[in-house]
Structure 1
Amino acid sequence: MSHEDFDLDAVERRLCVQALELAGNIVDAAWRLGITRQAMKRRIKKHRIVWPRPAGRAPRADDEVGRGLSLAV
């Protein structure tokens, strides 16, 4: 097992990304995680998760703000 397996922030980020990819939107992702939409939005910001995904590009679990990606409008 790697250090990341026990890093709470890394696990939280991974769960948020997986929920967003599975649900397709913030409200449903929050519901899947048992948190409010506002709490989900705070975690997206905290973990620098790019959402919504840029158009014309497959989602990647390691996307982060600041890597030259723009937000789809």
Structure 2
Amino acid sequence: MRFTVSERYDQGIIDKTQQNDVDVPGSVRTTLSLGVPFRYNPLATLNLSLGVGVTRDTPDVTFALRAPLTF
């Protein structure tokens, strides 16, 4: 089994828009994530990541678990 550490920066910018003819302010969503992929064999990997929101429009904490398989 092998593992590495990965970092990720994710930012989304939403400009001002209208909803029901009312101006809605834009927002900035920024997340910093740290992940650890575990490779069990050449066909199976397990990816775990933990993200922390750094703006008020972003969720405080995100957790992701992915299991991509190769056929």
Instruction: Tell me which interval the TM-score lies in, with the shorter structure as reference length.
Output: under 0.3
- Per the normalisation by structure 1, the TM-score is 0.23
Which has more strand, going by share of residues? 2
Relative contact order, CA 8 A, sep 6+: which one is greater?
Answer: 2
Pair member with larger Rg: 2
- Per the normalisation by structure 2, the TM-score is 0.23
